[in-house]
Structure formats: C-alpha cells, structure tokens
Amino acid sequence: MIVVTGATGHLGTLVIKDLLAAAVPASEIVAAVRSPERAAGLAELGVQVRRADYDDPESLATAFTGVDKLLFVSGSEVGQRVRQHRNVVDAARAAGPALLAYTSILNADTTRMVLAEEHKATEAMIRESGLPFVLLRNGFYLELYTADFDRALARGSIVDAAGDGRLSAATRPDLAGAAAAVLTTEGHENKVYELGGEPAFTMTELAEELSRQSGRTVVYQDLPPAEYAGLLVDAGLPPALADVYADTRVGTARGDLFTDSGDLPRLLGRPTTSLRTAVAEALRG
C-alpha cells in the first residue's frame, strides 16, 4: 500500500497520476487528505481516500494503516509545520512503513534560509524515528515564476530580489515524477536527493526567455529585499510571511537554491523540463 499525503494538492495529485501510469493498482494507493470531499475524482478512479489532518494525530494513525511506502508531502502552513510534522512522523513510526519519503527543500542541510528551518527540523525527526527514509529535497517550483507572466508582460518587467543567483527550479510534474520513481523502484533507503531543474537560470535569463518567446521586451528589475517584502505586504501578505519570502530571495542570490547534483534527471530517466519549454507552456496557457 502506497500512501500519499496532501493528495489533493498540486504535487500529490500529480504523484498519484504517475503511480497509476506506472501500473500501481488504484486499490493499492491511498490518498490521505484533509478534506475527503475534495478527492471525489480520485475515489472514482478506485484510489482509496482517507482523512488525514496534520493537526489530528488520530486521523493520521487511521490513514496510515497498512502502509508499505509513505510519501509525506510537507505542510503549507509556514510557522506551524514543526508541530504538524511531528504528528505525521509519530504516526508513521507507529505504522512502520518500509519507506518514508519526505518532500524537503533544496540544500536543506546547508542553506541559511528561514524557510528551510522547519524542513531541517523535520529531517531530524525522520532520522531519529529509525524508519527507512528518503529525503526529496525539492527545488522551487518553476510554476511559481511562470504564474506571474501576465503581470510581467503588462508592466514590462519581472520584479524580484534574487540578484544574479542561479536557480535550479523544476516543474511540478518533474518533481512528482521523481517522487513516484522512489515509490515504485528499489534502492532508495536512507538516500538524500537534491532535486533541481537543469540547466539553472537567473532571473535575468528568465526575463530574456520571456521576451524572446512573447515578442515583447521584459527586463529584470532587482529590488533590495526590504523593498521586495514591502511589495508583498502591499499585495496582502502578512509582514512576517513577506519577510520569510524576501529571505528566500536573499538565499537565491547566495546560491542556496542551486544544485548540479543530476539527481532529478537520473530519477526521471530523462532530461528535466527546460526553461524554454516551461515558458512556452505558460504562454500557451
């Protein structure tokens, strides 16, 4: 039995799709979700749907019953994840899967980004649990950057605070494919994979590629981190969260979100989706 937490999220949905494509029987897949009513489409495919709320340890214990391999997709509530992830790891330890895969952050052991602190703490919990594990240290989703293209084209600039830092962003389908690979093949126990798209790119290169494909001039406007955080606050983010996100840009400029490990294409068995392809797909809508 393969259990996927966060199975109605962007990544979890894609992982289940890949598991089915790899001929894993739907009855052997569990979609562990906070709101089962949102997983009706998965249930129609024959996937088991079980309630699993990171704030409800009892629901996690029930959801993990009979698990052989568990994909633990990290929570999205920044600032709450250490407590929530402790609940998941405790429930996993009690269930005793043969493999616990966790979606961490790129270079979790060396980055100084504030956003990585909860991931570092979770990785430590997992190691201390004694369970066989695999750490999927995911780079940032490329879609986080292409989603802003409409505004970038309207104002003629991509606004960020990443300096000239090289970014190994990867598409959600690529990262989902890597997760599915470790769940359906052997030899991943106690491995750490640094998962990034290749080749890495700078924000200037992203703007140049958008300009080339759109036929409109788009430049990269690099802001001081504090000014960038202010823009996020103006857009409606709480100041504390805006500071965390601005700090990720400082980390990007520092190289914290770069990897040349080659782990992602090796797990996929193919090259990662290129920046050119991702931009083209985003422009097609």
Domain assignment present for residue 189? The answer is yes
DSSP category for residue 219: E
Decide if pLDDT at 78 tops 90. no
Domain assignment present for residue 238? The answer is no
Number of domains in the chain: 1
- Closest to 182 in 3D by CA, of 99, 87, 258, 245: 99
Q: What is the mean pLDDT of residues 151-168?
A: 97
Domain assignment present for residue 48? The answer is yes
Domain assignment present for residue 233? The answer is no
Check which CATH number belongs to the domain holding 63 and give it: 3.40.50.720
Q: What is the mean pLDDT of residues 193-218?
A: 97
Domain assignment present for residue 88? The answer is yes
Domain assignment present for residue 265? The answer is yes
Q: Which residues span the domain enclosing 37?
A: 2-138+172-195+260-269
In the block, which residue shows the tokens 């979770």? Answer: 122
- pLDDT grade for 12, boundaries at 50, 70 and 90: very high
Q: Are 135 and 181 in contact (CB under 8 A)?
A: no
Domain assignment present for residue 229? The answer is no
Domain assignment present for residue 284? The answer is no
List pLDDT tens digits, range 144-159.
Answer: 999 999 999 999 999 9
d(CA 36, CA 59): 12
